[in-house]
Structures are given as C-alpha cells and as structure tokens.
Amino acid sequence: MKKTLLIIFSLFTSFNYSQCNDGEYEILFETYSGEWAEEITWSIIDNNGDLVVYYDGSETENDTWYNQSACLSSGCYAFEANDSYGDGWNEAFVDIISVNSDVDFGVTELSIELENGSLSYTTFQINDSQCIYSGLGCTDENASNYNENAFISDGSCEYSCEEGEYILEIETTTGDWASEMSWDLYSYQDWNEENEPITSFQGNNNDQTYSTQICLDDSAGCYLILGNDSFGDGWEGGNVSVFGVLDNVNLLLEASIEDGFDGYFTFEIYQKGCIWEFPGCTNPDAINYNPSANIDDGSCIETLSFNFDGLEREYLLYIPEDLPGNAPLVFVLHGYTGSAQGIMSYSEMNEVAEENGFAVCYPQGTTDQYDNSFFNVGYEFQNNPTVDDVGFIVALAEYPQDTHQLSNINTFCTGMSNGGDMSYMLACEASSTFRAIAPVAGMILYDIYNSCNPGNPVPVFETHGTEDDVTYYEGDPDNVDGWGSYLDIPSTIDYFVNQNNLTDLSFSELPNLNPNDGSVIESYIYSSPNSNNEVWLYKVIGGGHDWPGADGNMDVNISEEIWKFFNAMSSSEESFIEDASIESKKIIKKIDFLGREINNTQTHLPILYIYDDGSVKKSIIY
C-alpha cells in the first residue's frame, strides 16, 4: 500500500529538493497523515538540543502524503512525535529516507509511528555509528544519577539510600488516556500541614510501566497516594503499586480510580491505626460522589429533574455555601453531543462561582434523531424538532430564583457551540429573563436573526477562534455545513452594538501568556457614555473550536473573563428599570437607502434600522 501511494504521489507532486552544502546530506521526510491529520506534529532535534526540522499537521488533510526535505550533517538526532489528542497517530507514520542513498541511519529502514499516547522519541544517526545522543539518560528525579539535561530515558537510573533509610519502590502502569492520570505521594504530616508532596507522577503514554524509588528518612508512619484523573472518568486501566524493597513487602497493590476524579490510597510502614480525613462528596447518588471520601464537605451535586411541557428535563445546580440572597444566577449550556456534567467539568465555572458569589445552573438538552444531545435552535439537518428550549430555560430560571432567593434581574447565560447558539436565541426571545449573554464559539442563525426583536437591549460577549472549523468565524450564509445559514461574527457583533446604541470602541491585545498554544487574543469592547450596556468580542487569532483556558488558547481562563463581563453588566433593580425605560426601543423595520425592506440575507449593503420611537440608525452587514 505504501509503495502504491508513493508512486501516485510522485506522479502528481513536484519535489523541491534542498541544495546541501559540503558535509551535509539530503534527507527526505515522507509523512502519511492518517485518520486524524490535525493532531499530528513532529520535529527533529540535533545533538545540541536545537530543533532542525518541524512538521505541523493542524491544517493538513487526512490520509494524504506530505513530503519535505532537509540538509543535515553527520551526527545523532532525535525524532519527537506528538499527538495533541493523546491516542497515538491513528495509522499515520513518517518514513525517513536518504535522497542520494549516501546515509547510514543505523537501521535498514527508518519508519516512525506513534502507536499510542501523546509523545514518543526515536533516536537515529546520520553516518556516525559512534555518536551518543546528549538527550539520553536517566530522567527520574528520584534517581542518584538523574540527568537534568536528559529527556529520553535510557533505562540507566540507579537508586541508592543512606544506611537506615527505608527504600520505597513505586510502580505505575498507565492505561488508556494516560495524560489524564496523575498522583502525589504525601506523608501523614505533610498531608495535614498542606506541604508539598514527597514525589509526583504525571502520565504521558498509554499502556506503559514506570518505576521509581524513594528514600524515606523517618520511615515509620502513614502515607497517602492522592490520585487524580483530569477528565473524571477514572484511570482507564491505570494503577499504582508500592513495595518495601528491603523487607520485600507489598504496601499497596494495583490501586486505581475506577471512576471519577479523585482517589485516596493509604498505606502504613511499621505503624497501624492511622486516621485520615478525606473531604469530598459522600452521597452515592451524586454525580461527583467520591468513594474514598470519609468527610462530606457539602460539595455533592445531584442530577435534578424539572417537568416542562410534558417532558422530564434534567439539570445541575451549584450554589456555594453561605451564598447571600439575591445573588446572581449564571446558566451554562453544553454543546451539541455534550452534557451538563461535561461542561461543568471543563468550564470549572463552579470554582469561579465559589470565589465570586453566584449560583450556576447547567441544563441538559434533549436528544435528536441521531441520539445526540442538543438545544433546539433550528438546525437544518435535524428533523424539525418541536422541543421548546427557550420556554424550558426561562421556566427553569424562575424556579431557583424563587426557591433559592436568587436575582431575577442579574441572570445570565453562557454556552459552548450549540450552547452559544442557544444563548443568542435567548437574547432575542427572552431578554426579560437574561440580562446578558456570553457565547463561546457560538453563532446566530439567519432565521433567528431575521426575527430578533428583544424587549430589552442585551449585552453580548462573544469569544471566537478565527480558525474555528465547526462554527466558522466568517459565517456560513450558503449553509455549506448543514447547520443552517448563519451570520459571520463581525456582523453579529455589529448587530448587537447597534441594538445597544453603542458608540465607542476600545481595542487591545491580551498578554500572550502561553506562546506555545498557537494563538493570541484581540479584545474589542464597545460601550457608550449613555448606556451601562457593553458588547465584547475576544477574537482568538489562530484559535479553534475551544473553551479557552480548558483547551486551545491558554492565555485566559474564559470562565473568569465571562464572569468579569457579567459582573460589569450587573444591575441593581433601580438601575435596571431606568436602563429599560431609556434603552428598550424596538426595531420595527430594516430598509436599504431606497426604502426597500430587506431580509438580511444580503451582505455588504448599508442598512437603515427604523425604531419605534422614530429614530434611525445606519449600519452595514458584512
């Protein structure tokens, strides 16, 4: 198969070979992109630690050949393979070939693939059988011969303890999704005094076994391995075992997190009867139940039911302890195929609520004909579902407002993707319930836009990546993707700027705190001296279909930014009534300069907005 594909490729692709200097050899790197091309990157690192060749598959096609060549001198090299999702390369591979057949790589054929996990290294030579790669060595910080310059383990680690010290060997086996697995080792005293752990582990590659040894000065006592799974679905076959080397005793055998985020694994050395206190949710019916917890910390979150329109709907509600009356309420809506529990986990909005004093509600969507969860905004590919999600969410908002004495003025909505689309629909149809919205990777369908006529102007904060390949920044007016025709982001922002009668723009570039995430954020904040309302746009240059801070751009925690926006848009009852009386004029007609009424499907035309108070505002839809 490889040879056939190579022949086809050579017939249709011209090669631009490098012009190499004396002492250099032309090397061809043939990359077959496999099933998930955008997840793949690889690089060649020379013996000085310099990156000399790089490949980025983020904008490549699946199951396609990509060739590049480089001039390399003799010596040792390392091939670093990366997979951004952590499940290996899915049939992708790289063949390394000498163009002029004048290179000895040390092996007959040099073909590299990442079978699983997110990272692997392969060393090779170019016409230098005596070279030793400088990045090889002992990578375990607990070893006596630890090499801080090494990043590829060569199995050479040695361990030695002083006389009288207890030698502890810890063996960790990763399962699926190794990058989600981590643990920390504490002594009883360190745990209770909240000190740093004795040692830690962070998983990387799937189905691997790692061993380390620890020298304990004061060995007798109680110890804890605090395990964590960052996704919350357990260690997927991973486990950790602890052995006493000198007395050949099993202290902890294949301890694992079967489900959830946290696991508490205790063992004792020459001591019995240690009493540990592990706070957490002790309710087995809660979604965040922790079977290892023995002290209930009040953090349990149960799936709640709400009957609306003949359907038994589900939602999650988080109310921080000692929350004052009339506190704000924030709705967080999941994306298509997502879940309330999922977005609660990755958005970490509960932590933001705990720190800033507001309640959070996570509604669960219904399922469509494909058995995928969704909120009904009228996607064209669905069979015209009749579920009334606007009515459901409005009614659901009133319930905690009444039962938990939450604010019926400062109620807000954010959401990811489909949840962001639903936020726009709520802005158009439920402005009396929701004070402001903050869609992430959201869009407004033309059908919703054409009938949008809110009773109150709604502040909007949109966060959107310019390279979003699900919800296009440029919009999809011709419904190429099947969701339905929808506006581009600049036109969407322009519409809500006009709706809120905003006149001023403040632009800034946010600090690029993580230069390795491939994106930066431009901030556009629209305001007016005559209004408390604002419209914000975080334009993530190079960003994708992500929730910044959880995935993609890591310069901000977008959940914190969303609350900052909602907090700025919060109103007292008096100011809300005043703002509504001043700003609640309605658009009654949209016409062009010739007086013809338009339906907003045309673009790049000047539009006149006619309001019910007789005022007129000009805009251009892009």
**3-class secondary structure, 251:** strand
Q: Give pLDDT, residue 204.
A: 80
SS3 content of the chain, % helix, strand, coil (to 5): 15, 35, 45
pLDDT(127) > 90: yes
pLDDT(366) > 70: yes
In angstroms, the CA 473 to CA 544 distance is 10
Fold of 304-584: Rossmann fold (3.40.50)
For residue 46, give both structure tokens.
């020379």
pLDDT(18) > 70: no
In angstroms, the CA 18 to CA 354 distance is 58
Q: CA–CA distance from 607 to each of 163, 227, 507, 596 (Å)?
A: 85, 59, 25, 10
- Portions of the chain given CATH number 3.40.50.1820: 304-584
| Mean of pLDDT values over 454-461 | 95
Angle (CA) 262 264 270, round 5°: 165
pLDDT(5) > 80: no
What values do phi and psi take at 555, rounded to 5?
A: -75, -25
What is the CB-side half-sphere exposure of residue 81 using CA atoms within 13 A? 25
DSSP codes, 6-31: HHHHHHH-------PPTTEEEEEEEE
In angstroms, the CA 321 to CA 513 distance is 33
CB 605 within 8 A of CB 621: yes
Q: Give pLDDT, residue 108.
A: 83
- Portions of the chain given CATH number 2.60.60: 2-134, 165-296
Q: Could you tell me which of 495, 490, 471, 356 has the C-alpha nearest to residue 416? A: 471
| Unique residue bearing structure tokens 């407002």 | 401
pTM exceeding 0.75: no
Q: CA–CA distance from 447 to each of 407, 425, 587 (Å)?
A: 31, 10, 16
What mean pLDDT, rounded, does the chain reach?
A: 87
Model confidence at 596, pLDDT cuts 50, 70, 90, reads low
CB 262 within 8 A of CB 281: no
**CATH architecture entry for 2-134:** Sandwich (2.60)
pLDDT(2) > 60: no
Please state, for a pLDDT cut of 90, what percent of the chain lies above it: 63
For residue 449, give both structure tokens.
């836009």
Q: Give pLDDT, residue 600.
A: 45
**3-class secondary structure, 485:** coil
Model confidence at 281, pLDDT cuts 50, 70, 90, reads confident
Q: Give pLDDT, residue 495.
A: 97
DSSP for residue 196 = P
Using CA atoms of 490, 491, 496, 500 in order, give the dihedral in degrees to the nearest 10: 90
DSSP for residue 141 = T
Fold of 165-296: Lipoxygenase-1 (2.60.60)
What is the CB-side half-sphere exposure of residue 462 using CA atoms within 13 A? 33
In angstroms, the CA 353 to CA 361 distance is 11
In angstroms, the CA 282 to CA 295 distance is 7
* Pairing outcome for strands 460-465 and 436-440: parallel
Q: Could you tell me which of 353, 300, 363, 298 has the C-alpha nearest to residue 328? A: 353
| Mean of pLDDT values over 48-77 | 93
Q: CA–CA distance from 390 to each of 23, 423, 429, 434, 578 (Å)?
A: 70, 9, 8, 11, 26
CB 460 within 8 A of CB 493: yes
More confident residue, 12 or 489: 489
pLDDT(617) > 90: no
DSSP for residue 515 = G
CA-only gyration radius of the chain, Å: 29
Across 149-220, where does the E strand assignment appear? Answer: 152-153, 166-173, 181-187, 199-202, 209-216
pLDDT(10) > 90: no
